[in-house]
Structure 1
Amino acid sequence: MTDDAPELRASDADRERVAEVLREALAEGRLDMAEFEERLDATYSARTYGELAPITRDLPVGTVAAPEVSMTKEPAAAGEWAGRITGGDGSSSWAVAVMSGFERKGRWTVPRRFNSFAFWGGGDIDLREANFADGEVVVNCVAIMGGIDVIVPPGIEVIVRGVGVMGDFDHRESGVPGDPGAPRVIVTGFAFWGGVGVRRKLTRAEKLRIREERRREKLERKAARRELRSSLGESRDDLSEAHRRMLDGHRDMLREHRDERREQRELRREERDRRRRGED
């Protein structure tokens, strides 16, 4: 943050950069949930650089740079996908599970061709946080009396060319258009008395971002109501205001309940998939 202009108004992008640093600090264990929520509320309530600066002053620069506010216009940064197509070789080119399991997830680099094999076992190939050696990669899956799950993030184009014989090769995600500049993933292979699943899922960080966005909208609604009361110079009718708060709280409760039920269904589906692959 710039200390020489603390009274300048901060933008939504400035607040979002500070929120990203807080999310990274939470993931690394530098902040507990109570501290994270307190600082996040202060971030979205801040109106100037001077109010934003103290929020991350005691946090070191980690995997993301600390937010710097520039007083001049700069070229827009390259898209997210362009930064994730790295070229070169992959960090892992094959995986095998024989009466066992394997897992590829987190920050890893998918090679131009990744081969996997599961026999009486199962594996997870998670591409949500992965980098890609090329704009088009092939994930080859062979499952014999076992199962392999390929998990991709929204925005990636998936083409499924695998075949199932007395088994299942999931084609539901095939052909969904991808984002501009996003890599293309071609899933090939063979399933015999087993299954290969292809699913789209948000990352934990993205789920957290959406939850924070909803909370920010709630804070903004409260701030708008306060400003409206101030501009009118009179208070709302107590009964009407209480009724409005009750309705807002009821909508928030229904939304949270719906999200919890969706997460529970997802956990049950993953448990069924693991049992199908024979991991337990």
Structure 2
Amino acid sequence: MSRNTTLFGLSIGLTAALCYGANVPYAKLAAQAGADGPTLVLYRAFLMVVVLGGLGLARSRSLAVPAGSRLPVLGLGIATSFVGLCYISSVAFIPVGVATILYYTYPLMILLVAPLVDGERLTPARLGIFALAFAGLFIALGPNFTSLDWRGLTLALMGAAAAAAQFFCAARATRGSTPLIAGFWTQLIIIPIALAACLFAGRLNPPSVLVVAAFPAGMHILLFVLAFGFHLLAARLTLPAALGLVFCAEPVASILLATQVLGEGLTLAQISGGALVLIAVMVSVLAESRKQVAPA
């Protein structure tokens, strides 16, 4: 890949991370209005299947996945499902700050696995950038380590592992197929998994609940659709190790938007930690854009 392609991919990835982060406060508002997480995931997946399927058929008249991309697409669908289910479920057992910090170890997991999967070097510069971003998250979130439950810890780390797998699968799924087709099948795979989660939790709400929570649910779905689309496009243009570092900006976007949407005030620790994360992300983008990246 050329430097311009890498820079463009990282810029698109940063946009995806910001959109992912921005949809979290709206998800909380939707849950307060009766549209809880599993409900949003289920109906969001239905909507995306219709939209992506329609666009895919209009563009190529086929939704078939090339034989070489079927396993990565399957892996992408399963990993994407478990990212949400494990991460969201973990906060029932441990504080949100602890869950978030454990979940955002996934860029480190990507860095550690990338030499084996993609043949990338585990450079001191990338480890240093991750350390700076992780320190910023730790300061900004200020977790409380007094109430730890092994179930929450396990779920948060499983969510992190699923997120790392998602990046590697997305890179392969979108290079052997188009982002539209990969996205369609990913969301189709999510539907039965999300439905099972709703039934298990006893919260299979009717679609009318989205009408009651129309604005926050609509904003959440819109931001997620944009984030998911940009994520798949960025995955096609950028190697997972570089892209994972950029996604550290996601929780900062959540914190900043929460001040506007939820009326939550920013503490000095959140401002300081968020600044460190953003500095790390910018350094990562600049460093990666200056390198000639070999094709995966």
Based on CA coordinates, which of the two structures has the bigger radius of gyration?
A: 1
Which structure's residues are more often strand, by fraction? 1
TM-score (norm: length of structure 1): 0.27
TM-score (norm: length of structure 2): 0.26
Which structure's residues are more often helix, by fraction? 2
